[in-house]
Structure 1
């Protein structure tokens, strides 16, 4: 669940849950101070402080502005994200769907593929859905680089390759 969805869900739980969720989202998920967020949201900082302290409930207009700003910061309004194409077991080991890179919060969207054909189709679909970059396996990256207009990076396994070799070596002994 993304940050905006968590904030929306918290609105329906209670005022206290909403305040805590919004405060945590601003500080931890978005990495901003309340003042910075208020400026980005075009909300008076005093209004945001009153909401966060429980001295005021947000009106619908303010709540819309908060959600719109969170989505914009997350890159969800434009649909901007980095796509990762890999087999399901690799994707299951991914723990982050957001990562702060060069000061920007990047959304990471997973695309599962079990064949070259599925990987190529997933790459094209990811670009059409708004991916700003793509990460994929070395076996498919040369092909998708030729057909996509977005940057493509190649997954280069290190530790996982050694672990797989050790695992298979144990199976043959």
Structure 2
């Protein structure tokens, strides 16, 4: 969402996008201002549309604050798969003393997987993990590392057993 707020500066939708971003993060203007060292009065003026002439430093603080709230300052991996798999995935994983945030990007078709991957790259994702078919295509259209989900024998066996129980 931080990216949409930044684009709002150019399209005269900044105050609307900022309000939406704060609402999406379930933050009040006061909470956001306090966390990111921005005067509350400045944010109130901006979100009400009464203060459209503010400095670059204020804009930088707002955008950086939104990036922090959305988790973009922490390394992030996009997980593109079904809603069910995304719901069961961890929200964070630690590898070699680095904690990565996992951003679920649920998709229902290969086309949607590719669209989600391209959008995630624009939003600043560090890498994408998706099904092997989508991975082959995404590697050709994005400039971030792409990995294909690997299905081991146990996972395949469990999936088959679950499916058989459903069709009984």
TM-score bracket, shorter-length normalisation: 0.5 to 0.7
Q: Which runs of 5+ in 1 are unaligned?
A: 13-59
Q: Which runs of 5+ in 2 are unaligned?
A: 1-24, 38-63
Alignment of 1:87-166 (within 5 A): 87-94=82-89, 96-158=90-152, 159-166=154-161
Structure 1 residues 150, 136: CA separation in 2 closer, same or farther (over 3 Å shift)?
Answer: same
Aligned residues: 113
Shift of 1:75: 9.0
* SS of residue matched to 2:112: helix
Structure 1 residues 125, 77: CA separation in 2 closer, same or farther (over 3 Å shift)?
Answer: closer
Distance in structure 1 (CA, Å) of the matches to 2:75 and 2:165: 43
Alignment of 1:3-152 (within 5 A): 64=36, 76=71, 78=73, 80-94=75-89, 96-152=90-146
Structure 1 residues 119, 102: CA separation in 2 closer, same or farther (over 3 Å shift)?
Answer: same
Structure 1 residues 132, 104: CA separation in 2 closer, same or farther (over 3 Å shift)?
Answer: same
Superposition CA RMSD, Å: 3.2
Distance in structure 2 (CA, Å) of the matches to 1:101 and 1:124: 25
Structure 1 residues 125, 165: CA separation in 2 closer, same or farther (over 3 Å shift)?
Answer: same
Structure 1 residues 114, 103: CA separation in 2 closer, same or farther (over 3 Å shift)?
Answer: same
Shift of 1:153: 0.8
Distance in structure 2 (CA, Å) of the matches to 1:113 and 1:77: 21
TM-score (norm 2): 0.55
Contact preservation (8 Å) 1:80, 1:130: no
* SS of residue matched to 1:150: coil
TM-score (norm 1): 0.53
